[in-house]
Amino acid sequence: MTSVGSADASPGTVDTGRLEVGETRDGSTFGLPVAVVEGARDGKTLYIQAASDGDELNGVGVVQRVVPQLDPEELAGTVIVVGIVNYHAFQVAEHRNPIDDTKMNRTYPGDENGTSSERIAAATYDVARGADLILDLHQGSTSRMIDEVRVRCGRRHRLHSQCLDLAKTFGCGYILDQKGPDGQLARVAPSDGIPAVDPELGGAVGWDESSIAKGVEGVFNVLRGYDFLAGDPGIEAQTRAKAFDQYGSPVGGLVRFEHDLGDRVVADETLFEVTDPFGSLKARITADNDGIFWRSRRLPQVATGEYVCSVGKNVDSY
């Protein structure tokens, strides 16, 4: 039997419940929604979490579709899902936890006696550290972004090849292979010996059905590729970038892009132009390096110095 919070699943069963992590401002307890799918046969444990950033909802869409499709009688091993990590931010559709104004995915492995975010991180990591593999589902917040998987442990890490293989098995088509900031789950877990990746499932306000579908397919690719389920994961070569060039606007105005997401970009090629409200050109921004048009702002209006887009560089195939 596997127990997570109030969810208890014996072999061949599924259970859902809550993982209590504290109290709200009125003194009532709150818990994170959890699901445990305990396979009929022994095997590995996969930990999946979503919405550690409260406005990144595509991961919630993924687990909402994956869990009902999992038949424990066909499963070898255990799948543990925390469907909403950043409880307080999710309630108000914000990125950061409003209780302590903190980005949750910078607080791992957490502190059970710390701030609100640190306590939630500690509670979820206590569950995650018992797994063999970790998927931390994200998206580009409200920016437009390609579907990708991020390997955050760093290319010199002893588990780098295992994390890269996990990203390739998930199979969004694109991988960012760049060491992440301190406190990211996908950076912390490999140092405890657990391969972990950070799928970034597009970017949207609300649901993005195509990115959710990619995420569902990716989870099942992992389940098949690591012998939780029978079948071929269909592993294919991925396009990998090892860094970003990020571009802001030197002026205020309205942005007009010259590329779509996923386009190949050549150094010195125009990325975007900024015009005034009447269409007169104010600035033309070109690429510093060859790469892939990876991410861009959603709204056209910008102020001086405001973020506009990113180009993935040092690109190869893995």
| pLDDT tens column, 71-101 | 999 999 999 999 999 999 999 999 999 999 9
CATH architecture observed for domain 242-317? Beta Barrel (2.40)
* Common-topology check for domains 2-239 and 242-317: no
Residue 142 has pLDDT above 90, yes or no: no
The pLDDT score that the predictor gives to residue 316 is 96
38 contacts 10 by C-beta, under 8 angstroms:
yes
pLDDT band at 298; cut points 50, 70, 90? very high
What is d(CA 66, CA 64) in angstroms, rounded to the nearest whole number? 6
Residues with Cβ within 8 Å of 183's Cβ and at least 6 positions away in sequence, in order, are 105, 106, 107, 108
Tens digits of per-residue pLDDT, 27-50? 999 999 999 999 999 999 999 999
What is d(CA 183, CA 252) in angstroms, rounded to the nearest whole number? 34
The pLDDT score that the predictor gives to residue 143 is 86
Report pTM.
0.96
What CATH code is assigned to 2-239?
Answer: 3.40.630.10
Residue 55 has pLDDT above 90, yes or no: yes
> How far apart are the two ends of the chain, measured CA to CA in Å?
38
Show me where the domains of the chain are located: 2-239, 242-317
Nearest alpha-carbon partner for 153 in 107, 189, 108: 189
For residue 213 the two structure tokens come to: 């579908």
pLDDT band at 111; cut points 50, 70, 90? very high
Gyration radius of the chain over CA positions: 20
The pLDDT score that the predictor gives to residue 4 is 97
pLDDT band at 234; cut points 50, 70, 90? confident
List Cβ<8 Å contacts ≥24 apart for 207-210: 207/57, 207/58, 207/61, 208/58, 208/139, 209/61
